[in-house]
Amino acid sequence: MNVAILSPEISLGAAAAVILLAEAFSAGNLSRVAILALATLGIAVSAAFLIPAQLAGVPTSSFSGAFIQNGFTIYFKLLMLMATFLVLLGSGRFLAQAEGRRAELVALVLLTTAALMLLVSSTELITLYISLEMASLSTAFLAAWMKHQERSAEAGLKFFLLNALSSAVLLYGIALLYGITGQTQLNGIARELVGGATPALLLALALLLAGFGFKVSAVPFHMWTPDVYEGAPTPITAYLSVASKAAGFAVIVRVLQTALPGVQTEWVGLIAILAAVTMTVGNIVAMVQTNIKRMLAYSTIAQAGYILVGVAAGTGQGLGAVLFYLAAYTATNLGAFIAIVEIADRTGSERTSDFAGLHARAPWLAFALAISLLSLAGLPPLAGFFAKIYVFWAAIQTGLGWLVLLGVLNSAISLFYYAQVIHHMYMVPAPSPAPGRSLPTLVAGLTVAIAGVFALGIFSGFFMGLAETAARTLTQ
């Protein structure tokens, strides 16, 4: 048993423990910068364990094959570490103000990331389920962080209850799969499933997709998303919208590709339908939102729809496109959310109409938000444009032309609400100058995210190459 394979996760756990202890020994007065420094150290050590095992490196597994490390998992883990790092940097004054409790918050975020990293590496259903629950439980705590605010407490409770529901459904699916095959190992399941689709298997498939659909906010399992995203503290929303979602997609493609290739025709159809409904509903409902966090919640639902298009393609090319899309989406969404953390902090409002004239008051924030929104809408030369191109192109190759057409129409719709925010920021005159300077850490986080949005777009070929290499190791 090779425990060292867990070093990246252990590093994060150790960092969380150190932060909690340091907080205890400093009588609850550990400074924000000190906490951030410790967290960054933990993340850096974790990444340092991952990077030598190169993306195309030899896969290693441990714990009787329940845990694997290969290019695919490394890609996702690095992505999530980067996202965690940027979220912590971009949390701005929220962390500064959370006097006395911020160490717990940061420690919980690190532990959640560790759980998500375990999830990405799980190749056995029970391990997978436990990791998922670990991540979900801490997510509920994080959502309810501002426990004295009704909205935040409600968000945490809603997430907890609905998540329990979806976990039950997922567990039912897992149980059925075990009943059919007698296996919990993903590749073992694939070995047993040679006879094609049976009613029980299709039911298991539907239950699994419902459970995973909940995690990535696919319609109609998305209902929790707007309420939780709006109620949770904005940095936590940012975290949920990128790290949790990336892990969710990692699990979906892993289970579908390694355990269920025998029923590929069936799941391609189901995923295609989910993709179609998800992007359409997400975009249409986003149009009438007035709160920017709610709007972005629906926007992330729509983005999940586009990613599902790539999953539905089901090919190696589609898988590479999904991985690239997730990287592009992570950079873009973090850019948008970090900007909103700061804007909402300064204006004291999350209503899009209160963003009027922002470009005059905070030109860099307005520019960063505008670039992120344009990338989400899929305009060249930003990351979002190329991400969509690759995903749609992969889908066209497998004959999902109708889905791509719908995706293109959806992109056109989405521009409406994204552009509306930009319109407010740049065209509507400013009511009054807002005071305040941004924390340097926030500016740094925002700058890295926006640089990523540009770099992933302009050098998309290079990053797509990385994503495809990583994707290839999944099915090897």
Partner 1 sequence: MSNNAWLIAALPLGAFALIALGARRSPALSAWLTILAIGLGGALSLQVLREIAAGARIEQSMEWLPLGHGLGLTVGFQVDPLTAIMLVVVTSVSLLVQIYSLGYMHGDNGYSRYYAAMSLFTFSMLGLVLANSLLTMYIFWELVGLCSYLLIGHWHERPEASAAAKKAFIVTRLGDFGFLLGILFLYWHAGTLEFRGLEEAAAAGRIPAAALTVGMLLVFCGAVGKSAQFPLHVWLPDAMEGPTPVSALIHAATMVVAGVYLMARTFPLLEHSATAMMVVAVVGGFTAIFAASMGIVANDIKRVLAYSTVSQLGYMIMAIGLGAMSAGMFHLFNHAFFKALLFLCAGSLIHLMDTNDLSAMGGLRRQRPITFIATTIAALSLAGIFPLSGFWSKDEILAAAASTNPLLFAAALATVFLTATYMFRLIFLAFLGNPRGQTHDHPEPLSMTIPLLVLIVPSVASGLLGTALFGNPFGSFLEGRAVTAEVNLPVAGISTAVALAGILLAWVLYGDGRVEASARLAARFQPVHTLLVNRYYMDHLYNGFVARIVLGFGWLSNRIDLSLIDAFVNGIGSTTISAATSMRRMQSGQLQAYAWAFFAGTVALAVVAALPLLMGTR
Interface contacts to partner 1, rule CB under 8 A = 158, 161-162, 165-166, 169, 197, 199, 202-203, 205-207, 209-210, 213-214, 219-221, 223-224, 226-227, 266, 269-270, 273-274, 281, 284-285, 287-288, 317, 386, 389, 393, 397, 413, 416, 459-462, 464-465
CB of 104 or CB of 266, closer to partner 1: 266
CB of 226 or CB of 335, closer to partner 1: 226
Those residues whose C-beta lies under 8 Å from the C-beta of residue 362, and which sit 6 or more positions away, are 342, 343, 346, 434, 438
CB of 199 or CB of 435, closer to partner 1: 199
Least CB distance from residue 392 to partner 1, whole Å? 11
Least CB distance from residue 412 to partner 1, whole Å? 10
Least CB distance from residue 9 to partner 1, whole Å? 30
DSSP 52-85: TS-TTS--EEETTTTEEESHHHHHHHHHHHHHHH
What is the chain's alpha carbon radius of gyration, rounded to the nearest angstrom?
21
Q: How many Å apart are CA 452 and CA 318, to the nearest integer? A: 22
CB of 190 or CB of 206, closer to partner 1: 206
Least CB distance from residue 469 to partner 1, whole Å? 12
Give the position of tokens 């047993």: 192
Sign of CA dihedral 78, 81, 83, 89: negative
Cβ atoms of 407 and 389 closer than 8 Å: no
CB of 182 or CB of 269, closer to partner 1: 269
Element (H, E) at 117: helix 102-121
Give the β-pairing of 60-62 and 67-69: antiparallel
Least CB distance from residue 11 to partner 1, whole Å? 34
Nearest residue to 390 (alpha-carbon basis) of 460, 285, 339, 438: 460
Going from the C-alpha of 126 to that of each of 67, 173, 381, the distances in angstroms are 11, 12, 42
Strand, coil or helix: what is 122? Answer: strand
Q: Note the helical H segments in 144-244.
A: 150-181, 186-192, 199-215, 224-231, 234-239
Least CB distance from residue 8 to partner 1, whole Å? 30
The amino acid present at 128, given as its one-letter code, is L
Least CB distance from residue 301 to partner 1, whole Å? 11
68 has which bridge partners?
61
Least CB distance from residue 6 to partner 1, whole Å? 34
Those residues whose C-beta lies under 8 Å from the C-beta of residue 150, and which sit 6 or more positions away, are none
CB of 50 or CB of 415, closer to partner 1: 415
Least CB distance from residue 262 to partner 1, whole Å? 14
Least CB distance from residue 168 to partner 1, whole Å? 10
The amino acid present at 166, given as its one-letter code, is S
Calculate ∠ Cα 384-389-393, nearest 5°: 150
CB of 169 or CB of 326, closer to partner 1: 169
CB of 278 or CB of 441, closer to partner 1: 278
Least CB distance from residue 196 to partner 1, whole Å? 8
CB of 8 or CB of 318, closer to partner 1: 318
CB of 210 or CB of 382, closer to partner 1: 210
Cβ atoms of 143 and 232 closer than 8 Å: yes
Cβ atoms of 53 and 71 closer than 8 Å: no
CB of 329 or CB of 392, closer to partner 1: 392
Is the previous residue joined to 381 through a cis bond, with omega within 30 degrees of 0?
yes
